[in-house]
């Protein structure tokens, strides 16, 4: 027969077991909460409203949004690969490939992310099969309608008339993250070069610089500031960012999609190695037509699921990816350091 103290002891064991089980269940649930990454500004709003909120609604788990930049995020993942503090990495093509080669991200299949089946092959090849890009932008020409009455129709016309002094132009400096793609490869390709010959890019930008009619911007907000203050009349910029600025009441800004084709750049999302399995549901939401359309409406960029239906306004603004140029990201990534070193020595902005 048990004494009272023995019964109490037994009840204590049972209570402890139930408590431990509850704590384990809670810990298991919490382990499925995830940390996802985003650039700042309108990106953060779009990531939260189109993806993170939808993920929580469907799963009950939270997707906490971390603002920053790809090099910072990759360093954080590398510092603790077994228990990464970040679970979804947003980054450009060369950085995606680099992260994949280092084993920082997983290479998904269509079983992991079913909507990858609806993404054109170009956006998978852009990241060497480490998933696919989910959005893309075209590097177009934006201009002040008040000071540029007859805007150029092509990149070459933009260059020639900058040299001739028709306006003050602005281009991204080499400190801008993807300048090697949109500036160095982009101008080299326009003028007959490529990844193995960037001489045409250096020559043509030096001619513009020598004319005294060229300044540089180092961030997307720099460009808009230069245009607003009259420091620049025209420049090369992202289509989505330009349209978003126009929608804020700046209808003095005009957009030209050059006939000799803009450079296209795209952004991918990937599951970090050793991240919770709930990330796959988040990524399925990212590549799903409805949430993608939501993201596109926020950022005014093209998205990659072929089943997305754009609004009438967006249809007239999206540059079809078929009408753009796309450089080889792995080759560009491998050569970028040498290109930047040469650019700094020979061009200097």
Tens digit of each residue's pLDDT, the chain (349 residues): 334 444 444 444 333 433 333 333 333 434 689 999 999 888 999 999 999 999 999 999 999 999 999 999 999 999 999 999 999 999 999 999 999 999 999 999 999 999 999 999 999 999 999 999 999 999 999 999 999 999 999 999 999 999 999 999 999 999 998 999 999 999 999 999 999 999 999 999 999 999 999 999 999 999 999 999 999 999 999 999 999 999 999 999 999 999 999 999 999 999 999 999 999 999 999 999 999 999 999 999 999 999 999 988 899 999 999 999 999 999 999 999 999 999 999 999 9
- What pLDDT does 17 receive? 38
CATH of the domain at 276: 3.40.190.10
- What pLDDT does 31 receive? 60
Q: Please, what's the b/e burial string for 66-100 (b: 16 or more CB within 10 A of its CB; e: otherwise)? A: beeebeebbebbeeeeeebebbbbbbbbbbbbbbb
- pTM (whole model) above 0.75: yes
Nearest-angstrom CA–CA distance, 231 and 167 = 10
Alpha-carbon dihedral sign for residues 294, 290, 256, 43: positive
Does residue 158 belong to any structural domain of this protein?
Answer: yes
Does residue 8 belong to any structural domain of this protein?
Answer: no
Dihedral angle of Cα 319, 322, 323, 325, to the nearest 10 degrees: 110
- What pLDDT does 62 receive? 97
Domains in the chain: how many in total? 2
Q: Residues in the chain, how many?
A: 349
Please check whether residues 49 and 148 belong to one and the same domain.
Answer: no
Expressed as residue numbers, the domain containing 274 is 28-136+266-319
**Tokens standing for 318?**
């999206």
Please check whether residues 149 and 202 belong to one and the same domain.
Answer: yes
Does residue 11 belong to any structural domain of this protein?
Answer: no
Please check whether residues 241 and 115 belong to one and the same domain.
Answer: no
- What pLDDT does 177 receive? 87
User: How wide is the angle at C-alpha 220 spanned by C-alphas 320 and 316, nearest 5°?
Assistant: 25
- What pLDDT does 290 receive? 97
Please check whether residues 258 and 274 belong to one and the same domain.
Answer: no
- What pLDDT does 32 receive? 87
| Closest among 295, 288, 282 to 118, alpha carbons compared | 288
CB atoms within 10 A of CB 114: 14
Please check whether residues 230 and 159 belong to one and the same domain.
Answer: yes
Taking each continuous run of H as one helix and of E as one strand, the counts in the chain are: 16, 10
Please check whether residues 211 and 342 belong to one and the same domain.
Answer: yes
Nearest-angstrom CA–CA distance, 180 and 194 = 11
| Closest among 225, 226, 230 to 146, alpha carbons compared | 230
Nearest-angstrom CA–CA distance, 58 and 35 = 16
Please check whether residues 260 and 119 belong to one and the same domain.
Answer: no
Burial class (CB in 10 A: 0-12, 13-18, 19+), 32: middle
Burial class (CB in 10 A: 0-12, 13-18, 19+), 125: middle
Please check whether residues 148 and 128 belong to one and the same domain.
Answer: no
**Tokens standing for 251?**
């209808």
Please check whether residues 120 and 41 belong to one and the same domain.
Answer: yes
Does residue 13 belong to any structural domain of this protein?
Answer: no
| Closest among 300, 299, 303, 275 to 287, alpha carbons compared | 303
Does residue 9 belong to any structural domain of this protein?
Answer: no
Please check whether residues 157 and 212 belong to one and the same domain.
Answer: yes
pLDDT in tens, 124-162: 999 999 999 999 999 999 999 999 999 999 999 999 999
- What pLDDT does 22 receive? 36
User: How wide is the angle at C-alpha 324 spanned by C-alphas 230 and 39, nearest 5°?
Assistant: 60
């Amino acid at each position: 027969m048990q004494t009272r103290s023995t019964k109490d002891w037994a009840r204590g064991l049972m209570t402890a077991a139930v408590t431990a089980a509850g704590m384990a269940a809670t810990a298991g649930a919490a382990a499925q909460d995830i940390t996802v990454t985003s650039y700042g500004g309108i990106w953060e709003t779009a990531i939260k409203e189109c993806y993170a909120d939808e993920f929580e609604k469907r799963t009950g788990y939270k997707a906490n949004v971390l603002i920053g930049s790809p090099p910072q995020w990759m360093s954080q993942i590398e510092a603790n690969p077994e228990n990464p503090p970040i679970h979804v990495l947003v980054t450009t093509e060369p950085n995606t490939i680099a992260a994949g080669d280092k084993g920082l991200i997983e290479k998904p299949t269509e079983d992991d992310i079913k909507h990858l089946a609806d993404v054109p092959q170009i956006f998978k090849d852009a990241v060497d099969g480490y998933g696919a890009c989910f959005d893309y932008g075209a590097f177009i020409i934006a201009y002040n309608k008040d000071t540029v009455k007859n805007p150029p129709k092509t990149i070459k016309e933009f260059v020639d008339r900058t040299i001739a002094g028709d306006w003050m132009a602005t281009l991204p400096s080499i400190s801008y993250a993807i300048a090697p793609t949109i500036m160095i490869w982009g101008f080299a390709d326009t003028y007959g070069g490529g990844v193995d010959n960037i001489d045409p890019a250096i020559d043509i930008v030096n001619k513009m610089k020598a004319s005294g009619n060229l300044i540089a911007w180092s961030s997307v907000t720099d460009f808009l500031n230069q245009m607003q203050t009259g420091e620049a009349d025209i420049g090369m910029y992202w289509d989505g960012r330009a349209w978003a600025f126009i929608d804020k009441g700046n209808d003095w800004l005009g957009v030209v999609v050059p006939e000799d084709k803009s450079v296209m750049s795209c952004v991918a999302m990937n599951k970090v190695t050793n991240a919770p399995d709930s990330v796959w549901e988040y990524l399925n939401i990212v590549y799903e037509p409805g949430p993608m359309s939501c993201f596109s409406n926020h950022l005014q960029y093209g998205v990659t699921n072929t089943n997305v239906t754009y609004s009438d306004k967006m249809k007239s603004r999206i540059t079809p990816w078929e009408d753009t140029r796309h450089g080889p990201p792995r080759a560009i990534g491998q050569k970028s350091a040498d290109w930047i070193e040469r650019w700094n020595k020979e061009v200097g902005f």
